[in-house]
Chains A and B, each alone.
Chain A
Amino acid sequence: MEVRVNVIEKRLRNVKRIISVASCKGGVGNSLVASSLALNLSHKGFNIGLFDLDLYGPSSHIILGVKKQNFPEEEKGIIPPKIHGINFMSIIYFTKDKPSPFRGIDISNIIIELLAITQWGPLDYLIIDMPPGIGDETLDVIRLIKKSEFLVVSTPSKVALGTVSKLLKILIELKIPIIGVIENMVITKSSFIENEIDKLDLTYLGTIYFDKNLEESIGKPDKIFKTNFMKDFDKILGEIDL
């Protein structure tokens, strides 16, 4: 009888809202949206956790500029280190940023272990940075974190939407709450993504324009706040009920 799954709900009991930021398609700026959401809400005074669930290609630590990858402190479990005011958990503390050749069953076991031993404490929001795909990580979040809502990221590309829409359809089928879809990296505004999201009867949350200066701010959260990317994102957050 596997025991670790039975304690996961207890670990998340004092988390008011859990938002999984997902895309299904790689390269659309999902991690940047997840990290920026955590930074933005933390800056507004909320108590925030950020859990990078991308076990093959974690990148939230790069965006947040995490320099030290020491083991988390232990206190009846492990305590997520505070990074720029955010309680931040990632596989990097244990992989030391080496390549991570995991197969499916191993992914599930890692997720179960991390959820069972991480003591998040009371949080207003736990933001989960989801990896691409609708495989193990997505299925495990749906199975193990019943109160998770999804915030979905796409780009204006038909190629991106072709994949993103598969995630949306499976979430709709499973009746998982979807906050809405953000259109990221927009160069020329069109109504294509908004129309497609409308057809699925979902909420199009807004547009983040491509910010050619954003790369200079990666690893420097203070600078991320000053980017056009964050200004667009903050406008979206101001219009939705988070």
Chain B
Amino acid sequence: MHEWALAESIITTAVEAAEKKKLKMISEIKISIGELQQIEQDIFEFALGEIIKSQDGKLRNVKTIIETEESTLKCKNCGNKWKFADIKKILSDDESESIHFIPEVTFVHTRCPKCGSPDFEITSGRGVSITSIKGKR
């Protein structure tokens, strides 16, 4: 359940941002999760809920919106573009699970579907970020 650790980083960041902006209450946190993280949404939402409960009143009525950013991978060798979903089905459970923990090990376990190169880039769909925070001063 490493989703908990990521959820904790969301709430820690939101609380710090609210303090900087002098918000007395946070009403909404919009979260973007890269598709490569392969987050288990139920677990992530549960973790967010539990961590929010443990915080002070500033987050009492907060609404969390989770959006998944689709992955795009681009080969530096041949220019081919593809999505993680296109290749996920050929991965073993261990390979897929490895990428779930550390998205960048996609460079270890996958190749460009067109030319077989490991030299590609993740142009979107990784990491965890807050895209917006709403609240009241």
Q: How many A-B residue pairs have CB under 8 A?
A: 100
Residue count of chain B within 8 Å CB distance of chain A: 33
CA distance A4 to B4 in the complex (A): 12
Query: Which partner residue on chain A sits nearest B98 by CB separation?
Result: A94
B2 x A78 contact (CB < 8 A): yes
CA distance A93 to B97 in the complex (A): 11
B10 touches A (CB below 8 Å):
yes
B6 touches A (CB below 8 Å):
yes
**CB within 8 Å for A3 and B98 given contacts A102-B107, A116-B6:** no
B130 x A113 contact (CB < 8 A): no
A7 x B9 contact (CB < 8 A): yes
Q: How far is the CB of A13 from chain B (nearest CB, A)?
A: 12
A95 x B9 contact (CB < 8 A): no
Given A6-B16, A71-B97, A94-B98, list of 19 further CB < 8 A pairs?
A: A1-B131, A2-B129, A3-B10, A3-B13, A3-B129, A4-B9, A6-B9, A6-B12, A75-B1, A76-B4, A76-B5, A78-B2, A95-B98, A96-B98, A98-B109, A110-B105, A117-B2, A117-B6, A119-B5
Identify the B interface with A (CB < 8 A): 1-2, 4-6, 8-10, 12-13, 16-17, 94, 97-98, 101-105, 107-109, 118-119, 121-122, 126-131
Identify the A interface with B (CB < 8 A): 1-4, 6-7, 10-11, 71, 74-78, 91, 93-96, 98-103, 106, 109-110, 113-114, 116-117, 119
